[in-house]
Structure 1
Amino acid sequence: MAPLPPGSTLGILGGGQLGRMLSQAAARLGFDVVILDPEENSPAGRVSRGQIVAAYDDPTALNVMGRVCDLVTFEFENVPAASIETLAGGGALVAPGPTALSTAQDRVVEKTFLNAVGATTVDFAAVDSLDDLTAAVTRLGLPALLKTRRDGYDGKGQAWIRTAKQAAAAWKAIGEVPAILEAKADFTRELSIIAARGRDGTIAVYPLGQNHHAGGVLATTLAPAAVDTKTDTRARAIAAAVLEGLDYVGVIGIELFDLGHGTLLVNEIAPRVHNTGHWTQDGCVCDQFEQHIRAVAGWPLGPTTAHARVEMTNLLGEAVNAWPALAAEPDARLHLYGKAEARPGRKMAHVNRVKPLFSVGAKRTGRGPVS
C-alpha cells in the first residue's frame, strides 16, 4: 500500500497508557486519532481527536471505527481477535493482523508457534483437567509454573507448583480453566527485545533491555543491556523469525530468558508496543511508539540506535505521588499516564533516568533498520 499521508485518521482499540503514548506519537507525525474504549474519558481518549465509548466487540462501534479511520491498530493483546477480524472483513486496514493477536492470546498456541519458527521456549504441556496437570507434573518435573491459557498478565492467573501435593491447590487457584504448565527456566537474567517490521518487510531492532520484576510486575528496565555479540545476534535472529513467521506489521515486544553463553529462551511475545520498550522514548531518536505508527502507516522505519543509557522505572499506585521530586531530578524524564485513581499495583507512570551512553573518546557503534 502507499504510505498514509499526514492528515489521515488512525484508530486505536484500547484507551490506556499505551494507547495514549501511541496517540501522542501519531499526532507528532500529523495523524488524527480515534480511540475505542469502554471507559469514558480514557487516558488515550483525552489526548486524541475523539473516542468511541463502547465494548471492543460492539458491532456498531466497530463499523463506525472502520468507516471513519484509514487504519486501525490496538494497544494491548486482550482485545478480542474477532474484533480485528470483523474490522478486516468490513474492508478496514488493520495492523498487526488477527493472526498475531490470536497467537499471543493463547499460551499453548503461542509456544507451539515459537518453537515451530526456531524461537525456543521452555518445555510445556497443555492442561485441561487435574488429571492432565498430574501427568504434566510427572513429565516436566518440579518446580513448574501453571498459567491460564488465556488472559492473565503482570503475574495474575498463575501459580507455582513446587511439590506434587500442591498441584490440586494450584489448579483451583487459577480457576480450573484451560491452562499451560511450563517447566522452570534456569536463567541468569531476564532480557527483552523490541522490534518492528514494516509493510515492505523491512525489520528494525532496538538494543536489548535487561529487566527486573517484582511481584510478577515489571519494576525496571536497563538499556542498552550489556550483552555479548553471540547473545545479541541470537536475540535479533529470534525477533526476525517471529516477525516473519507472523507476517507481522508494527512493533512487537519479545521477553527472553538468558541462560548464558548466547542461549536464549522466549518467555512470551506481545503484539504491541511494550513496557520494556519505554526506555526508547528518551534513549533513541525514534521511540517504539513512533516506530509502531511508522510501520502500520507504511512509512519508512526509523533509526533504532541508542544515544543514551536509560533506566526505566515503573511507578505503581501511590508511588506516582513522588512526581514533584522526580520532576526535579535533572536526569529524570517523567511520563505520566493521566489516570485519576492511584490503585495499588496500577501502572500510573514511568520515569526514565538518562545517562551518557559513551565515555569521551569511546567508539560509537549501532544498528538501524535492516532488510
Structure 2
Amino acid sequence: MTVYEELKARGLVAQVTDEDLIKNLINNGKATFYIGFDPTADSLHVGHFMALCLMKRLQMAGNKPIALLGGGTGMIGDPSGRSDMRQMMTPETIQHNCDRFKEQMSKFIDFSEGKALMVNNADWLMDLNYIEVLREIGPHFSVNRMLAAECYKQRMEKGLTFLEFNYMIMQAYDFFALYQRYGCNLQFGGDDQWGNMLAGTELIRRKLGEDASAMTITLLLNSEGKKMGKTQSGAVWLDPDKTSPFEFYQYWRNIADADVLKCIRMLTFLPLEEIDAMDSWEGSQLNRAKEILAYELTKMVHSEEEANKAQESSRALFSQGNAADMPTAELSKEDLTDDAIDILTLLLKSGLVSSKSEARRAVEQGGVSADGEKIPDIHEVFTSEAFTESGLVVKKGKKSFRKVVLKGV
C-alpha cells in the first residue's frame, strides 16, 4: 500500500487540488510540505494532534516537513470558524507561545539537519511594505471570491473587520514565500482552511507561473459532529502542566463507542490490518479498544513510562477506586469543621462541582462514591482519619474524580 493510499484508508484525505500530482510527490518522498500553527496559546492541543501525526507519517516516508509558526499571522488572527474577533496578543506573548510549540513539536518531528524545518512567518510578514503589498499582491485577489470563502461566512454575519479580512492574503503570502525560500510544493491544513490554501496555490501560479498543491485533512469530529478535544474544563492540551498525562489518557479512554475505531484509524500508527480486525468488536471489546487508543496516544505525547502509569491508574480507578497518579485536590485542617467535612463541601472544595446545589443533586441521583463506596446520604461526613496517606478517591459520575489529600496527615 502506498503512503497516499494509507492516508485515504485511514480517512485522513478531505480535499485535494491535483490528486495525481500529490500522490506522486508524497509516495516518492518528493514533497516539501508545510502546516501552519498560529500561536494563540502557550501549548498545542488535541486539535493540532492530527496535523502533527500527519507530519510524522510523511516524514517517515521520506518527505520533508516545514512547521510554520504564525508569529506574523498571529498578530492578526484567523477568522475561520469564529463568530467573534480573536483577542489581540502582544509580540512577547506570541514569541513565548512559539517557543513552547517548538518544544512540543520536537516529540513528533525530527528537526535534525536536513530532515525538517521550523520557521516563523514573522521573518517575512513583519517587514512587508504596505504599498508594495497592495501593488504586487493585491491585483491577484478578487474581493468577490474572498467574501464567498467559507472561512469568512460566519464573521460576515456579525461584522468582518478589515484586519481579519487580510488573513487570507497573509496565509497565501506564506505559501508564496515558502515556495521561493525552501522549495515548498505542498500545503496541508484542516478542511476549514480550504479557501486560504487555494489562495496560496493561485498566488504562486499567478506570480511565478508554477504549480503548487494543497490538501486538506479531515477535521477530528465526534459522532455528534463537534470538534474533539474539548472538555467541560476547556481544551485537552499536550502540555503535561495544563493537562496531566492521566487526564490526557482518560480523555481518550472515555470517548464514545461510536468514535473509538475512527480515532484509532486516524491518529495511531497501528497497522491497518490490526485496526480492521477491530471493526467487529462490540460491548466490552470496545472498552479494550479505548484502552489501546488512550495508551498509544499518551505514549506518543508523554512517553511510554507515563502511558503505563496512566493505564495502571485508570484501571485502579475503575476497579477499587484508588490510584496513585490522578488529578489531586488538597485540603487543609482549616477546611474541616470539628475534624470532619461533609460530602457536599468535599465535592465543592475538590473541584468536582461548582456549587453545593450541584453536589446535592449528584448525591441524590446516586452518582457519587468515595473509595469505591456509593454515598447515598447528602449528610455523609468524613473525619480526618478517612484521608489516608494515599488520599481519598472521590468520584462523581463515570468520568469525574479527584484524589483528595489532607495536608498535614
Structure-2-length-normalised TM-score = 0.24
Which is richer in helix?
Answer: 2
Structure having the higher Rg? 2
Which is richer in strand?
Answer: 1
Structure-1-length-normalised TM-score = 0.26
